[in-house]
């Protein structure tokens, strides 16, 4: 049996989001499948840059988070939030 190594509990959300690779870059679409206070798992068709800004639309407005890729497996990405926001 595998032991859970994550520090924060993940929540399944399955929500479409946008990511931006830099100033002036056009947004790209991705799918957030699960999320925690410290990171998330994303699926994207295009190659994701090492560092980017993730924007998630919610009922209370848009949330923007600075991120970095921790691992890659095909179109699946594990990311860590680097801005310290909650």
Answer whether residue 63 shows pLDDT above 80: yes
Distance CA 81, CA 84 (A): 7
CATH architecture of 11-81: Beta Barrel (2.40)
pLDDT at residue number 34: 95
More confident residue, 51 or 57: 51
Q: Pick the most confident of 10-14, 22-26, 75-79.
A: 75-79
Mean pLDDT of the chain: 89
Name the pTM for this structure.
0.83
pLDDT at residue number 70: 97
Does residue 69 contact residue 81 with C-beta atoms inside 8 Å? no
Distance CA 58, CA 76 (A): 22
User: So where are the chain's domains?
Assistant: 11-81
């Amino acid at each position: 049996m595998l032991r859970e190594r994550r520090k924060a509990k993940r929540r399944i959300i399955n929500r479409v989001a946008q990511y931006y690779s830099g100033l002036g870059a056009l947004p790209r679409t991705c799918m957030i499948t699960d999320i925690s206070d410290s990171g998330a798992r994303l699926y994207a068709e295009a190659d994701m840059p090492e560092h980017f800004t993730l924007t998630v639309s919610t009922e209370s407005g848009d949330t923007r988070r600075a991120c970095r890729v921790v691992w890659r497996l095909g179109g699946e990405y594990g990311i860590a939030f680097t801005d310290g926001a909650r």
